[in-house]
Amino acid sequence: MVPGAEDALIYTTLSGSIGILVPFRSKDEFEFFQTLEMHMRVENPPLCGRDHLSYRSFYAPVKFVVDGDLCEQFGTVDLTKQKEIADHLGRKPYDVSKRLEDLRTRFAF
What per-residue confidence (pLDDT) applies to 63?
A: 82
SS3 18: strand
Domain layout of the chain by residue ranges? 25-106
Interval 31-80: pLDDT, tens: 999 999 999 988 877 777 777 777 777 788 878 889 888 899 999 999 99
- Contact criterion met (CB below 8 Å) for 41 and 52: yes
Average pLDDT score over residue span 83-98? 94
Closest C-alpha among 41, 29, 47, 48 to residue 100? 29
Q: Can you name the CATH fold of 25-106?
A: DNA polymerase; domain 1 (1.10.150)
What integer best gives the mean pLDDT of the chain? Answer: 86
Residues 6+ apart with CB under 8 A from 100: 71, 72, 74, 75
